[in-house]
Amino acid sequence: MIRQKDGFEGERAIVIPIYSVQEMEVHPLASVLYITDIGYYPRALHHYRERNEPISQYVFIYCVSGAGWYRVGNVTYEVHEHQYFILPPNLPHAYGADEQNPWTIYWVHFKGKMASCFSSTTMAPRDVKPTTHSRIHDRIQLFEEIFHVLEMGYSRENLLYACTAFYHFLGTLAFLQSYRAAAYQLEPGEEADDIIAAAIHFMKENIEKRIPLEEIARRLGYSVSYFSMRFKHDTGYSPITYFNQLKIQRACELLDFTPMRINQICYKIGIDDPYYFTRLFKQVMGLSPMQYKRQKKG
Protein backbone atom coordinates (compact mmCIF):
# COMPACT_ATOMS: atom_id res chain seq x y z
CA MET A 1 0.00 0.00 0.00
CA ILE A 2 1.37 3.42 -0.95
CA ARG A 3 0.65 6.30 1.40
CA GLN A 4 1.34 10.01 0.98
CA LYS A 5 4.50 11.16 2.70
CA ASP A 6 2.87 13.98 4.62
CA GLY A 7 -0.52 13.98 6.27
CA PHE A 8 -3.42 16.37 5.76
CA GLU A 9 -4.43 18.97 8.31
CA GLY A 10 -7.32 17.54 10.31
CA GLU A 11 -6.95 13.99 8.99
CA ARG A 12 -7.87 10.92 11.04
CA ALA A 13 -7.23 7.28 10.26
CA ILE A 14 -7.24 3.87 11.96
CA VAL A 15 -5.63 0.66 10.72
CA ILE A 16 -7.08 -2.41 12.44
CA PRO A 17 -4.32 -4.69 13.81
CA ILE A 18 -3.79 -7.93 11.91
CA TYR A 19 -4.74 -10.09 14.90
CA SER A 20 -8.13 -8.34 15.09
CA VAL A 21 -8.67 -8.73 11.35
CA GLN A 22 -7.90 -12.44 11.63
CA GLU A 23 -10.40 -12.75 14.47
CA MET A 24 -13.10 -11.08 12.36
CA GLU A 25 -12.35 -13.31 9.38
CA VAL A 26 -13.55 -16.39 11.28
CA HIS A 27 -16.25 -14.89 13.51
CA PRO A 28 -19.77 -15.91 12.36
CA LEU A 29 -21.12 -12.34 12.51
CA ALA A 30 -18.08 -10.26 11.64
CA SER A 31 -16.95 -12.41 8.71
CA VAL A 32 -19.97 -11.19 6.73
CA LEU A 33 -18.61 -7.62 6.48
CA TYR A 34 -15.71 -6.10 8.37
CA ILE A 35 -13.44 -3.06 8.30
CA THR A 36 -9.65 -3.25 7.97
CA ASP A 37 -8.88 0.50 7.64
CA ILE A 38 -10.99 3.64 8.09
CA GLY A 39 -10.37 7.36 7.85
CA TYR A 40 -11.33 10.93 7.04
CA TYR A 41 -9.25 13.33 4.92
CA PRO A 42 -10.41 16.99 4.76
CA ARG A 43 -9.39 19.04 1.71
CA ALA A 44 -6.73 16.46 0.93
CA LEU A 45 -4.50 18.45 -1.41
CA HIS A 46 -2.06 16.22 -3.34
CA HIS A 47 -3.78 13.08 -2.05
CA TYR A 48 -2.77 10.28 -4.41
CA ARG A 49 -2.70 6.48 -4.29
CA GLU A 50 -1.53 4.06 -6.95
CA ARG A 51 -1.58 0.33 -6.31
CA ASN A 52 0.01 -1.70 -9.09
CA GLU A 53 0.07 -4.66 -6.74
CA PRO A 54 -3.62 -5.38 -6.03
CA ILE A 55 -4.92 -5.52 -2.47
CA SER A 56 -7.50 -7.96 -1.11
CA GLN A 57 -9.88 -5.31 0.33
CA TYR A 58 -12.69 -3.34 -1.23
CA VAL A 59 -11.98 0.41 -1.16
CA PHE A 60 -14.91 2.70 -0.35
CA ILE A 61 -14.53 6.48 -0.85
CA TYR A 62 -17.33 9.00 -0.17
CA CYS A 63 -16.63 12.52 -1.44
CA VAL A 64 -18.60 15.10 0.55
CA SER A 65 -16.98 18.19 -1.01
CA GLY A 66 -14.41 19.08 -3.62
CA ALA A 67 -13.48 16.73 -6.43
CA GLY A 68 -11.13 13.93 -7.37
CA TRP A 69 -10.71 10.99 -9.72
CA TYR A 70 -9.98 7.28 -9.87
CA ARG A 71 -8.65 4.91 -12.50
CA VAL A 72 -9.27 1.21 -13.02
CA GLY A 73 -7.61 -0.37 -16.00
CA ASN A 74 -7.48 2.21 -18.77
CA VAL A 75 -10.61 4.09 -17.68
CA THR A 76 -10.49 7.21 -15.49
CA TYR A 77 -13.59 8.54 -13.72
CA GLU A 78 -14.19 12.00 -12.26
CA VAL A 79 -15.61 12.25 -8.76
CA HIS A 80 -17.53 15.27 -7.46
CA GLU A 81 -19.14 16.22 -4.18
CA HIS A 82 -21.99 13.98 -3.01
CA GLN A 83 -20.64 10.99 -4.90
CA TYR A 84 -19.07 7.73 -3.76
CA PHE A 85 -17.43 4.75 -5.35
CA ILE A 86 -16.29 1.28 -4.32
CA LEU A 87 -13.23 -0.30 -5.91
CA PRO A 88 -13.26 -4.12 -6.00
CA PRO A 89 -10.34 -6.14 -4.64
CA ASN A 90 -7.56 -7.72 -6.64
CA LEU A 91 -7.47 -5.02 -9.33
CA PRO A 92 -4.69 -2.46 -9.84
CA HIS A 93 -6.06 1.04 -9.43
CA ALA A 94 -5.21 4.65 -8.69
CA TYR A 95 -7.08 7.63 -7.27
CA GLY A 96 -6.42 11.14 -6.08
CA ALA A 97 -7.70 14.60 -5.27
CA ASP A 98 -8.31 17.34 -7.81
CA GLU A 99 -5.39 19.79 -7.64
CA GLN A 100 -7.56 22.93 -7.80
CA ASN A 101 -10.49 21.71 -5.69
CA PRO A 102 -9.23 18.83 -3.51
CA TRP A 103 -11.78 16.45 -2.14
CA THR A 104 -12.88 15.87 1.42
CA ILE A 105 -13.48 12.15 1.82
CA TYR A 106 -14.63 9.48 4.22
CA TRP A 107 -12.96 6.20 3.31
CA VAL A 108 -13.04 2.58 4.39
CA HIS A 109 -11.21 -0.57 3.35
CA PHE A 110 -13.39 -3.61 3.98
CA LYS A 111 -13.77 -7.32 3.33
CA GLY A 112 -16.27 -10.08 4.06
CA LYS A 113 -18.51 -12.73 2.56
CA MET A 114 -21.21 -10.14 1.77
CA ALA A 115 -18.86 -7.37 0.63
CA SER A 116 -19.50 -8.00 -3.05
CA CYS A 117 -23.22 -7.30 -2.54
CA PHE A 118 -22.40 -3.61 -2.06
CA SER A 119 -20.07 -3.37 -5.03
CA SER A 120 -21.87 -2.25 -8.18
CA THR A 121 -21.48 -4.01 -11.50
CA THR A 122 -20.54 -0.63 -12.97
CA MET A 123 -17.36 1.20 -12.01
CA ALA A 124 -18.91 4.68 -12.35
CA PRO A 125 -19.35 6.82 -9.21
CA ARG A 126 -22.80 6.93 -7.65
CA ASP A 127 -24.72 10.05 -6.60
CA VAL A 128 -25.93 10.96 -3.12
CA LYS A 129 -27.63 14.23 -4.03
CA PRO A 130 -28.96 16.36 -1.13
CA THR A 131 -32.72 16.78 -0.83
CA THR A 132 -34.98 18.07 1.92
CA HIS A 133 -34.87 14.63 3.59
CA SER A 134 -31.51 13.37 2.44
CA ARG A 135 -30.19 12.57 5.97
CA ILE A 136 -26.55 13.14 5.03
CA HIS A 137 -25.85 14.38 8.56
CA ASP A 138 -27.28 11.16 10.01
CA ARG A 139 -25.04 9.09 7.77
CA ILE A 140 -21.95 11.07 8.76
CA GLN A 141 -22.90 10.65 12.42
CA LEU A 142 -23.04 6.90 11.89
CA PHE A 143 -19.55 6.97 10.35
CA GLU A 144 -18.32 8.94 13.37
CA GLU A 145 -19.82 6.32 15.70
CA ILE A 146 -17.96 3.58 13.87
CA PHE A 147 -14.71 5.53 13.98
CA HIS A 148 -15.09 6.43 17.65
CA VAL A 149 -15.87 2.90 18.80
CA LEU A 150 -12.74 1.66 17.03
CA GLU A 151 -10.73 4.45 18.66
CA MET A 152 -11.77 3.00 22.01
CA GLY A 153 -9.92 -0.22 21.23
CA TYR A 154 -10.30 -3.59 19.55
CA SER A 155 -12.36 -5.54 22.03
CA ARG A 156 -14.66 -8.11 20.45
CA GLU A 157 -17.72 -6.00 21.32
CA ASN A 158 -16.23 -2.89 19.71
CA LEU A 159 -15.31 -4.79 16.57
CA LEU A 160 -18.72 -6.42 16.25
CA TYR A 161 -20.52 -3.11 16.74
CA ALA A 162 -18.32 -1.50 14.08
CA CYS A 163 -19.08 -4.37 11.67
CA THR A 164 -22.85 -4.24 12.12
CA ALA A 165 -22.93 -0.42 12.03
CA PHE A 166 -20.89 -0.40 8.82
CA TYR A 167 -23.37 -2.85 7.27
CA HIS A 168 -26.07 -0.29 8.05
CA PHE A 169 -23.88 2.55 6.75
CA LEU A 170 -23.50 0.87 3.36
CA GLY A 171 -27.23 0.15 3.39
CA THR A 172 -28.00 3.87 3.67
CA LEU A 173 -26.26 4.27 0.30
CA ALA A 174 -27.32 1.08 -1.46
CA PHE A 175 -31.01 1.65 -0.60
CA LEU A 176 -30.96 5.43 -0.69
CA GLN A 177 -34.63 6.25 -1.20
CA SER A 178 -35.84 3.85 1.47
CA TYR A 179 -33.29 5.27 3.92
CA ARG A 180 -34.48 8.81 3.26
CA ALA A 181 -38.17 7.98 3.47
CA ALA A 182 -37.93 5.81 6.59
CA ALA A 183 -37.15 8.55 9.11
CA TYR A 184 -39.92 10.87 7.93
CA GLN A 185 -42.64 8.32 7.18
CA LEU A 186 -42.81 9.63 3.64
CA GLU A 187 -43.46 7.92 0.37
CA PRO A 188 -40.19 7.72 -1.58
CA GLY A 189 -39.79 10.95 -3.58
CA GLU A 190 -42.10 13.01 -1.37
CA GLU A 191 -40.58 16.30 -0.17
CA ALA A 192 -41.56 19.08 2.22
CA ASP A 193 -41.88 22.58 0.77
CA ASP A 194 -41.38 24.85 3.79
CA ILE A 195 -38.61 27.28 2.89
CA ILE A 196 -37.17 27.71 6.40
CA ALA A 197 -37.18 23.99 7.22
CA ALA A 198 -35.61 23.27 3.86
CA ALA A 199 -32.94 25.95 4.40
CA ILE A 200 -32.00 24.69 7.87
CA HIS A 201 -31.91 21.12 6.59
CA PHE A 202 -29.62 22.20 3.76
CA MET A 203 -27.32 23.94 6.25
CA LYS A 204 -27.12 20.86 8.49
CA GLU A 205 -26.45 18.59 5.54
CA ASN A 206 -23.58 20.85 4.48
CA ILE A 207 -22.16 21.67 7.90
CA GLU A 208 -18.66 20.67 6.74
CA LYS A 209 -18.61 23.21 3.91
CA ARG A 210 -18.20 26.93 3.40
CA ILE A 211 -21.37 27.91 1.57
CA PRO A 212 -22.12 31.51 0.57
CA LEU A 213 -25.57 32.99 1.05
CA GLU A 214 -26.05 33.15 -2.71
CA GLU A 215 -25.73 29.39 -3.05
CA ILE A 216 -28.20 28.66 -0.25
CA ALA A 217 -30.77 30.97 -1.81
CA ARG A 218 -30.17 29.56 -5.29
CA ARG A 219 -30.55 25.96 -4.09
CA LEU A 220 -33.94 26.87 -2.64
CA GLY A 221 -35.03 28.78 -5.74
CA TYR A 222 -35.27 32.29 -4.28
CA SER A 223 -33.48 35.60 -4.68
CA VAL A 224 -30.94 36.46 -1.99
CA SER A 225 -32.96 39.47 -0.83
CA TYR A 226 -36.26 37.59 -0.49
CA PHE A 227 -34.68 34.54 1.14
CA SER A 228 -32.71 36.65 3.65
CA MET A 229 -35.77 38.71 4.57
CA ARG A 230 -37.97 35.64 4.97
CA PHE A 231 -35.36 33.72 6.97
CA LYS A 232 -34.67 36.56 9.39
CA HIS A 233 -38.40 37.24 9.82
CA ASP A 234 -39.05 33.60 10.78
CA THR A 235 -35.93 32.87 12.87
CA GLY A 236 -34.72 36.24 14.11
CA TYR A 237 -31.27 35.66 12.58
CA SER A 238 -29.65 36.18 9.20
CA PRO A 239 -29.02 32.93 7.29
CA ILE A 240 -25.23 33.10 7.68
CA THR A 241 -25.45 33.86 11.40
CA TYR A 242 -27.79 30.90 11.82
CA PHE A 243 -25.46 28.68 9.77
CA ASN A 244 -22.50 29.69 11.95
CA GLN A 245 -24.53 28.91 15.07
CA LEU A 246 -25.23 25.42 13.70
CA LYS A 247 -21.53 24.97 13.01
CA ILE A 248 -20.61 25.93 16.56
CA GLN A 249 -23.37 23.68 17.91
CA ARG A 250 -21.77 20.83 15.98
CA ALA A 251 -18.33 21.82 17.29
CA CYS A 252 -19.65 21.63 20.85
CA GLU A 253 -20.94 18.10 20.21
CA LEU A 254 -17.53 17.06 18.95
CA LEU A 255 -15.79 18.68 21.92
CA ASP A 256 -18.20 16.99 24.31
CA PHE A 257 -18.33 13.50 22.90
CA THR A 258 -15.20 12.81 20.87
CA PRO A 259 -11.45 12.93 21.49
CA MET A 260 -10.94 15.04 18.36
CA ARG A 261 -8.49 17.92 18.61
CA ILE A 262 -9.53 21.51 17.92
CA ASN A 263 -7.64 21.66 14.60
CA GLN A 264 -9.52 18.52 13.49
CA ILE A 265 -12.89 19.90 14.56
CA CYS A 266 -12.31 23.00 12.43
CA TYR A 267 -12.41 20.95 9.26
CA LYS A 268 -15.46 19.01 10.44
CA ILE A 269 -17.45 22.26 10.39
CA GLY A 270 -15.98 23.74 7.23
CA ILE A 271 -13.46 26.17 8.72
CA ASP A 272 -9.84 25.95 7.58
CA ASP A 273 -8.41 28.55 9.98
CA PRO A 274 -8.20 27.47 13.67
CA TYR A 275 -7.79 31.10 14.77
CA TYR A 276 -10.99 32.16 13.00
CA PHE A 277 -12.74 29.13 14.47
CA THR A 278 -11.66 30.16 17.98
CA ARG A 279 -12.94 33.72 17.44
CA LEU A 280 -16.27 32.51 16.08
CA PHE A 281 -16.65 29.96 18.87
CA LYS A 282 -16.01 32.60 21.51
CA GLN A 283 -18.42 34.99 19.81
CA VAL A 284 -21.22 32.41 19.93
CA MET A 285 -20.45 30.59 23.19
CA GLY A 286 -18.77 33.33 25.22
CA LEU A 287 -15.59 31.31 25.83
CA SER A 288 -12.86 29.68 23.76
CA PRO A 289 -13.05 26.05 22.60
CA MET A 290 -10.33 25.07 25.08
CA GLN A 291 -12.14 26.83 27.93
CA TYR A 292 -15.37 25.12 26.91
CA LYS A 293 -13.70 21.70 26.90
CA ARG A 294 -12.11 22.29 30.31
CA GLN A 295 -15.42 23.52 31.71
CA LYS A 296 -17.23 20.40 30.48
CA LYS A 297 -14.55 18.16 32.00
CA GLY A 298 -14.82 19.95 35.32
CATH number of the structural domain spanning residue 266: 1.10.10.60
Could you tell me if 149 and 24 lie in one domain? yes
Q: How many independent structural domains does the chain possess? A: 2
pLDDT by residue, tens only, the chain of 298 residues: 333 435 678 899 999 999 999 999 999 999 999 999 999 999 999 999 999 999 999 999 999 999 999 999 899 999 999 999 999 999 999 999 999 999 999 999 999 999 999 887 678 999 998 876 788 889 999 999 999 999 999 999 999 999 999 999 999 999 887 887 777 654 444 444 478 888 888 898 899 888 899 999 998 888 999 999 989 888 889 999 999 999 999 999 899 888 888 889 998 999 989 899 999 999 999 899 999 888 755 4
Task: Give dist(CA 285, CA 255) in Å, integer.
Answer: 13
In this prediction, residue 8 carries a pLDDT of: 73
In this prediction, residue 7 carries a pLDDT of: 67
Residue 108 lies in a domain: yes
Residue 275 domain boundaries: 195-297
Could you tell me if 280 and 142 lie in one domain? no
Residue 100 lies in a domain: yes
Could you tell me if 166 and 285 lie in one domain? no
Could you tell me if 59 and 100 lie in one domain? yes
Residue 77 lies in a domain: yes
Could you tell me if 128 and 212 lie in one domain? no
Could you tell me if 143 and 218 lie in one domain? no
Task: Give dist(CA 110, CA 105) in Å, integer.
Answer: 16
Residue 7 lies in a domain: no
Domain boundary among 182, 207, 241: 182
Task: Give dist(CA 35, CA 162) in Å, integer.
Answer: 8
Could you tell me if 176 and 51 lie in one domain? yes
Domain boundary among 151, 182, 213: 182
Residue 60 lies in a domain: yes
Could you tell me if 41 and 111 lie in one domain? yes
Could you tell me if 134 and 228 lie in one domain? no
Could you tell me if 51 and 84 lie in one domain? yes
Domain boundary among 135, 156, 182: 182
Q: What is the CATH number of the domain that holds 116?
A: 2.60.120.280
Residue 6 lies in a domain: no
Could you tell me if 148 and 239 lie in one domain? no
Strand partners, 15: 37
Threshold 0.85, pTM exceeds: no
In this prediction, residue 1 carries a pLDDT of: 34
Compute the CA torsion angle 20, 22, 26, 30 (nearest 10 deg): 40
Could you tell me if 152 and 272 lie in one domain? no
Residue 164 lies in a domain: yes
In this prediction, residue 243 carries a pLDDT of: 94
Residue 188 lies in a domain: no
